[in-house]
Amino acid sequence: MDLVPALEEPLRQPLKSVLGPATAKVMAEHLGLLTVGDLLHHYPRRYEERGQLTHLADLPMDEHVTVVAQVADARLHSFASAKAPRGKGQRLEVTITDGSGRLQLVFFGAGVHKPHKELLPGTRAMFAGKVSVFNRRLQLAHPAYELLRGDPEESVETWAGALIPIYPATAKLESWKIGKAIQTVLPTAQEAVDPLPGTLREGRGLVPLPEALLKIHRPHTKADIEDARSRLKWDEAFVLQVALARRRHADAQLPAVPRKPAPEGLLTAFDARLPFTLTDGQQRVSREIFDDLATDHPMHRLLQGEVGSGKTMVALRAMLAVVDAGGQAAMLAPTEVLAQQHHRSVVEMMGELAEGGMLGGAEQATKVVLLTGSMGAAARRHALLDLTTGEAGIVIGTHALIEDKVQFHDLGLVVVDEQHRFGVEQRDALRGKGKQPPHLLVMTATPIPRTVAMTVFGDLETSVLDQLPAGRSPIASHVVPAADKPHFLSRAWERVREEVENGHQAYVVCPRIGDEEDDPKKSGKKKSAEDEAEKRPPLAVLDVADQLTKGPLQGLRVEVLHGRMHPDDKDAVMRRFAAGETHVLVATTVIEVGVNVPNATAMVIMDADRFGVSQLHQLRGRVGRGSAPGLCLLVTEMPEASPARQRLGAVASTLDGFELSRIDLEQRREGDVLGQAQSGARTSLKVLAVIEDEEIIAEAREEATAVVANDPELTRLPALRTALDALLDEEREQYLEKG
């Protein structure tokens, strides 16, 4: 939040640089720090106390680390090598300790002279380098180091207790160099203009911004760090929530056509046809939606529901209400497979009510059309005509619905399925097709913890469906450790055969397709350390299907499904599977959302450790959709103690998606979860943790809503306005909530 000219001063300038040109260049290229303000907002990751040292015992492999330790001993060795054949090669080995463990440092060649003079036993220093293993021992080769010399005036106690900030650093710029650069610009922190309204700051006992910046970079006590972090968390939460509150406020000013369902119309006729009663949750959420649809500004609602909680039913009733009121409704699905599936199930649920204008159609009926990119020209022309004339009340499609050629007669509601797969630009393009902004309902089966919903989807009101409809069966989940216990995997295939013998069907899911384009050996991508460790590419659909048909599932009808098949082939495979003609479907994650085959009771997920927690939960939701219990087997070769196995254990232990999304969020870094939530933002969250700081986010949202209601343009709060401009690229403020 670069608030005033002193803080907006570039670190690198042609005539006078704040820092040395080389340092400024590395900061810009590797850390994205361009101005004095950026540097002041580059906060320490943690603090070391000189007397209480880093645990050398816990060092992560292959990571760039900074440790504070004491030299235990140093030995200079000579050796012969190609470059120094007469035994003139030199190697300096230094052992450092922190009381918890020991670590070897190695220096070679001409690089040994300086450390040989400086790193004497008993010397304390900060060391930075990449952790590697040599002869089964951890080591740092050629680490950078900074000696820690107490100021002669300082007493030993003060020196030992001082807090050393450790900054997020890079191999090109060590933590202490960043620290020195920050000390250079720290006096300008006095000029930071405070974005928090005075009343809010005083009411919550928060320190002023200049003081918070001083305390985070130069703390004297742990209480200083606490004060600074509490204050800076509020900045991040509040400025973000103000941006979202302004978006909600602006949306509330837009005009929309109120859509109230006609009495005894299409919705009433549909409800009368239903062979079951809606759950209490479905009725409650439907009421929230109908209340929103009846107002004269656009609904913006996020509908979260566990896999199989009946979201589609709620969305369909909302669409029927809009058709009743004379409008049209569009449902946007992320894939063609899903759009076709939604179309089929909506037409089945509506029966004769979906046969508007046809012989045998009911009196209140409307037309339900499908529009996807791969449709033939004639069918497409026909569908487009039905939309323009208003003949079709409901259209279901992929992003083909957004194309310029698509015109609606009177678009009243847009339903977006699986929001996280759609960009906001696409959503807004569809909304632009209404005479006035249509109402918007966004659905997701990925449970989102409340605070993430407030941060990522902060401009949407949220409804949650948390009950499963009657008749849904429980799903048993088990981890299958294929490397430790190969017989467990053999048993998994026997279980699949047993399900098929009992008249059911199964899915086998793999992370990769397995055709040429997909082969990681052929794509020049650099492998991650994890892949290197595993030494084999993820299992592929085409290979696994082949092995299963020749081996453990011989004699069963096995088919494959993946994203690169022709849409007609995909649809044909899905139809055969839905009709029960195929026993086992070997697929990629194309089946992750929306695929509904109640007779499929078993799922085997190969290389399950390659999928995220939420994705595994989504996939598992494809079984147990009928009256027979579901079974999900998570196959992995990862060792028992690994984090990946713990993650799989968590998935197997609970069916509660909200609990899993919390685990997921705690295990992943915040940024991955927020994804593009702050698209256009220069600073992502640095001190705010969306799970731990739930209270701050909720309070900041309340404060922000009140501030924006009183002063939508923030005319009385110029410093807050400036902070907001720094957070957002002006023209992209409306895209803040890119999920």
Residue with the larger pLDDT of the pair 552 and 163: 552
* pLDDT value at residue 227: 95
Q: Is the pLDDT of residue 726 over 60?
A: yes
Is 612:592 a contact under the CB 8 Å cutoff? no
CA torsion sign for 374, 375, 381, 385 is negative
- Rounded to the nearest integer, the mean pLDDT of the chain is 81
Q: Is the pLDDT of residue 521 over 50?
A: no
**Would you give the distance in Å from CA 637 to the centre of its chain?**
25
Q: Which of 12-16, 123-127, 534-538 has the lowest mean pLDDT?
A: 12-16
Q: Which of 187-196, 273-282, 419-428 has the lowest mean pLDDT?
A: 419-428
Integer Cα distance of 576 and 557 in angstroms: 11
Q: Which of 39-48, 68-77, 356-365 has the lowest mean pLDDT?
A: 356-365
3-state secondary structure of 464: strand
* pLDDT value at residue 717: 92
Confidence of residue 25 (pLDDT cuts 50, 70, 90): confident
* pLDDT value at residue 708: 94
Confidence of residue 728 (pLDDT cuts 50, 70, 90): low
Residue with the larger pLDDT of the pair 197 and 465: 197
Give percent helix, percent strand, percent coil of the chain, each to the nearest 5: 40, 20, 40
CA angle 623, 626, 628 (to 5 degrees): 85
Confidence of residue 28 (pLDDT cuts 50, 70, 90): confident
Q: Is the pLDDT of residue 468 over 80?
A: no
* pLDDT value at residue 734: 42
* pLDDT value at residue 86: 61
Q: Is the pLDDT of residue 545 over 80?
A: yes
Output the pTM of the full model: 0.66
* pLDDT value at residue 527: 44
Please state, for a pLDDT cut of 90, what percent of the chain lies above it. 32
Confidence of residue 31 (pLDDT cuts 50, 70, 90): confident
Burial class (CB in 10 A: 0-12, 13-18, 19+), 525: exposed
Q: How large is the average pLDDT for residues 462-469? A: 78
Integer Cα distance of 222 and 217 in angstroms: 12
DSSP string, 187-247: GGGGGPPP-S-HHHHHHTTPPPHHHHHHHHHS-SSHHHHHHHHHHHHHHHHHHHHHHHHHH
Give the Cβ contact number of residue 470 at 10 Å. 8
Q: Is the pLDDT of residue 282 over 60?
A: yes
461 membership: H or E segment, kind and range: strand 461-465
* pLDDT value at residue 228: 95
166 membership: H or E segment, kind and range: strand 163-166
Q: Which of 119-133, 145-159, 294-308, 654-668 has the lowest mean pLDDT?
A: 145-159
Confidence of residue 5 (pLDDT cuts 50, 70, 90): low
* pLDDT value at residue 496: 96
Integer Cα distance of 609 and 616 in angstroms: 9
* pLDDT value at residue 87: 59
* pLDDT value at residue 519: 46
* pLDDT value at residue 269: 92
* pLDDT value at residue 161: 55
Is 607:635 a contact under the CB 8 Å cutoff? yes
3-state secondary structure of 480: strand
Give the Cβ contact number of residue 550 at 10 Å. 9
How do residues 98-115 score in pLDDT, each as one tens digit? 777 788 999 988 888 889
- β-pairing verdict for 411-417 and 328-332: parallel
How do residues 687-710 score in pLDDT, each as one tens digit? 887 777 888 988 999 999 999 999
HSE-CB of 577 using CA atoms within 13 angstroms: 28
How do residues 469-482 score in pLDDT, each as one tens digit? 666 677 899 999 98
Integer Cα distance of 414 and 331 in angstroms: 6
Q: Which residues contact 668 (CB under 8 A, 6 or more apart)?
A: 612
How do residues 238-254 score in pLDDT, each as one tens digit? 998 998 899 888 888 88
* pLDDT value at residue 167: 86
Q: Which of 308-312, 557-561, 702-706, 729-733 has the lowest mean pLDDT?
A: 729-733
Residue with the larger pLDDT of the pair 53 and 640: 640
* pLDDT value at residue 214: 93
* pLDDT value at residue 424: 59
* pLDDT value at residue 146: 81
* pLDDT value at residue 79: 77
Q: How large is the average pLDDT for residues 549-566? A: 91
* pLDDT value at residue 532: 38
Integer Cα distance of 678 and 481 in angstroms: 39
Q: Which of 173-177, 237-241, 519-523 has the lowest mean pLDDT?
A: 519-523
Confidence of residue 17 (pLDDT cuts 50, 70, 90): low
Q: How large is the average pLDDT for residues 256-270? A: 90
Please state, for a pLDDT cut of 70, what percent of the chain lies above it. 81
Q: How large is the average pLDDT for residues 507-514? A: 90
